Structure 1
Amino acid sequence: MDECKIIVMGFGSVGQGIVKAIKMEKDKILETLGINLKIVAVADSCSSAINPDGLNVEELLKTKSEKGKLGQCPNCGTTNTDTDVLDNVDYDVLMECTPTNIDDGEPARTLTLKAFSQGKDVVTSNKGHLALNYKELDDAAKANNVMFKFEASVGGAMPIINYAKDALSGNQIISIIGILNGTTNYILSRMTSEGSSYPDTLKESQMLGIAETNPTQDVEGIDAACKAVILSNSVLGQPATYSDVEVEGISNITSEAVSLAKENGYLIKLITEVSPKTLKVSPRLVKQGSSYDLNGTLNMATLKTDLADEVTTVGKGAGSLETASAMMTDLITILRTKN
C-alpha cells in the first residue's frame, strides 16, 4: 500500500477535526510509512464533496463555514450522502464521524456494516452503534477480515482502549473506574469552585460551547453509559448493551450538596464503573487530592489489573483536534498493520 484513500462521513466538529489532522500529519506519515493519505470524499447530513484525486481541505472547511453544505463545494460538490457515497467512491478506510444516536445507532451502524461488506476498514468516534450493536459490528468486522477501531469513542484524546490492549496486554483488566464525560466534570468543578447552582453552571457551560444546546446525553449520564458498554465489551470481554447500565446523571445535584461535600474533604464527580459485576454511571463522593480530583473537561480512568495493580490515564475527553488525535492513532495502526 503506497496510498490510502479516505472517506470522512460526518462533517461536524469531529469530522472537521479529522480532515485538519490528516492535513497536518500527512507529510510525516508519508515520510515514516511511505503512504500518501488522500481524502477522496467527505459527506455531511445532506450532501458531499467527492474528488478521486483528493479534496482540498481548506476549500472543504471554507465551504462548510460559509455555505453550510459540502454540496456547494466548487467542482466537487454532490447531492450524494450516506451509503451512496460508499457505493460510488473508491476508498480504503472509512472515518465515521456522524453524531451519536442512542435510539437506533443510525446512520453509523448502516455505514459501518456497509463498509465492512465492501472489505473496508473503519475508524469511528461514534458511541451509539457500539453501545447498541457491539457484537453485531464486531462479528461483521471479523467475518469480512477488516479492522474496526474506535479509541475516540470513549476517552477522546485520553488513551484507554489501545492502552489496555497494547501497553497492558500482559495483564488481565479486572475493572475500570473513572470520569468519562468532560462536560459534567466541568459543571461539577465549577459548582465546587464557585458555589454556583447547577442551572447557572449549565448555562455558563453552554455559552462557552462546552455543553450542547441540548445537554441531555451528557448531564443525564447517557454518554458515559455508552462508554461503559464499549469498555465492557472491548477491554473486559464482558458482553453488554446500553440497557445493562445503571444510569444516574447530575441534574439533581445541588450547590448545597457540593458545598457540604467540599467542607468534609470530598468532591462530587460523575463516576463510571465497569467490572464483571457492575456497569454503573452515577454521582459519587471522591476524596479531594485523589486521582479523581480533576478540573475542567479532563477525563481519567483507573484500570485495575492483576499484575500492574492500578494504572491511571488522564487526558482531554473532548474537542475537535483532541478527538481527531485518537482517530489518527487508529488510522496509523491500520496502516502499519496492512503495510
Structure 2
Amino acid sequence: DAVEYDCLIEATPTNIVDAEPAFSLTLKAFEQGKDVVTSNKGHLALKFKEVVGAAEKAGVQFRYEASVGGAMPIINLAKETISSCGIKSIKGILNGTTNYILSRMTAEGSDYEVILKESQELGIAETDPTQDVEGIDAACKTVILANSLLGIDATYSDVKVIGISSINSQAIDLAKKDDYLIKLIAEVSKDNLQVSPRLVKRGSSYDVSGTLNMATITTDLADEVSVIGLGAGSLETASAMLTDLISILKNKN
C-alpha cells in the first residue's frame, strides 16, 4: 500500500499451515491488477487452484519457477521449451539440504545427527530442519509440479511423505555394498504423489551430490528429459525469480 509497483516479488517464508502472508498478499496484488512472481511454496501447496484461478480471473501474469528447484529450470522448461509434449511423470531430488546430508553420510560413513549438526553450522540446514529432513519441503514441491505440469488437483495432504531422519549409517553402508545410494526421491504421476528415501543406482542420473537438485521428466514425445541445478541458496532463488520477471516483461511487449 505504501509504494507504486507493477509486479509483486513475493518472497516471504513458506507457511504450510495457512499459507499466510503469501496467500493474502498475492490475492491483493491480483485484485489491484498486478503481476506476481513468487518463490513461496505455501499458498501453492495448499491452495494452488484458487491462487491460479484468481490470477486468470484478474487477467494478470503469475509465475513461480523459484518455488521448485531453485536455479534448476523445471516449470518453465516443461511449459515452454517442451510444450509440445504431454508429461507422464516427474521423478527427482527436490531438496538440496537432504541431498547434502545423505551425500555426506555416504562419502564419510558418518551418522545422521553428526552431519545434520554440521549442516546447520554451515547454514545449509535450518535451525529447525523439520521441513527439509521430514520431506515436507519436497512434498510441497511435489504438489506444485502435480498441479502445474500434470493438471492434478492435489494439495499437500495428498502426498505420501517419509523423511530421512530414520536413515542411519548402517543403511547407507548396506546400499553401497550393492552399488546403490539412498536418496530422498519425489515422484509425481497420476497414480502416485510420494516423497520417500529410495535406492538409486550409483552412476545413474540420480547420483548427484551436495545441494544439487535433479529431475527427470518422462514425456510422450521426447521420452525422458533430465535437468540438474543448484536447488538451494539466495542467489539461485533470485536467478529464478529474475527469469520469471524478465518473461513477464517480454510478454507485455
TM value normalised by structure 2: 0.99
- Secondary structure of the equivalent of 1:88? coil
Q: Does 1:311 align with 2:208?
A: no
Q: Does 1:281 align with 2:195?
A: yes
Instruction: Identify which of 92, 102, 106 aligns with 2:6.
Output: 92
- Secondary structure of the equivalent of 1:301? strand
* Unpaired segments ≥5 residues, structure 1: 1-86
Q: Does 1:272 align with 2:158?
A: no
- How far apart, in 2, do the equivalents of 1:173 and 1:324 lie? 27
Q: Does 1:224 align with 2:166?
A: no
Q: How far did 1:88 drift?
A: 3.0
Give the corresponding residue for 2:107. 193
> What are the equivalent positions in structure 2 for 1:122-133 lying under 5 Å apart?
122-133=36-47
Give the corresponding residue for 1:148. 62
Matched residue type, 1:308: A
Instruction: Identify which of 84, 92, 115 aligns with 2:29.
Output: 115
- Secondary structure of the equivalent of 1:184? helix
Matched residue type, 2:37: V
Matched residue type, 1:179: I
Cα deviations by residue, 1:195-221 (Å, 9 ceiling, x for unpaired): 000000100100111000000000000
- Secondary structure of the equivalent of 1:233? helix
Q: How far did 1:338 drift?
A: 1.1
Q: How far did 1:176 drift?
A: 0.1
Cα deviations by residue, 1:249-273 (Å, 9 ceiling, x for unpaired): 0000010000110111000000000
TM value normalised by structure 1: 0.74
Please report the RMSD computed on the Cα atoms of aligned residues, expressed in angstroms: 0.5
- How far apart, in 1, do the equivalents of 2:3 and 2:204 lie? 50
Give the corresponding residue for 2:124. 210
Q: How far did 1:327 drift?
A: 0.3
Cα deviations by residue, 1:129-173 (Å, 9 ceiling, x for unpaired): 100010110110000000000000001000000000111101001
- How far apart, in 2, do the equivalents of 1:290 and 1:205 lie? 25
> What are the equivalent positions in structure 2 for 1:7-156 lying under 5 Å apart?
87-156=1-70
Q: Does 1:176 align with 2:65?
A: no
Instruction: Identify which of 235, 245, 251 aligns with 1:321.
Output: 235
Give the corresponding residue for 1:245. 159
- How far apart, in 2, do the equivalents of 1:192 and 1:215 lie? 20
Q: Does 1:302 align with 2:185?
A: no
- How far apart, in 2, do the equivalents of 1:264 and 1:181 lie? 25
- How far apart, in 1, do the equivalents of 2:152 and 2:195 lie? 17
**Structure 1 outlier segments of 4+, above 4 Å:** none
Matched residue type, 2:130: T
- How far apart, in 1, do the equivalents of 2:25 and 2:47 lie? 13
- Greater RCO, CA 8 A, separation 6+: 2
- Secondary structure of the equivalent of 2:150? coil
- How far apart, in 1, do the equivalents of 2:177 and 2:167 lie? 16
Cα deviations by residue, 1:47-75 (Å, 9 ceiling, x for unpaired): xxxxxxxxxxxxxxxxxxxxxxxxxxxxx
- How far apart, in 2, do the equivalents of 1:167 and 1:262 lie? 37
- How far apart, in 1, do the equivalents of 2:126 and 2:13 lie? 12
Cα deviations by residue, 1:35-58 (Å, 9 ceiling, x for unpaired): xxxxxxxxxxxxxxxxxxxxxxxx
Matched residues, percent identical?
Answer: 72
Matched residue type, 2:218: K
- How far apart, in 1, do the equivalents of 2:115 and 2:233 lie? 20
- How far apart, in 2, do the equivalents of 1:170 and 1:227 lie? 23
Q: Which has the larger radius of gyration?
A: 1
Matched residue type, 2:45: A
- How far apart, in 1, do the equivalents of 2:166 and 2:96 lie? 18
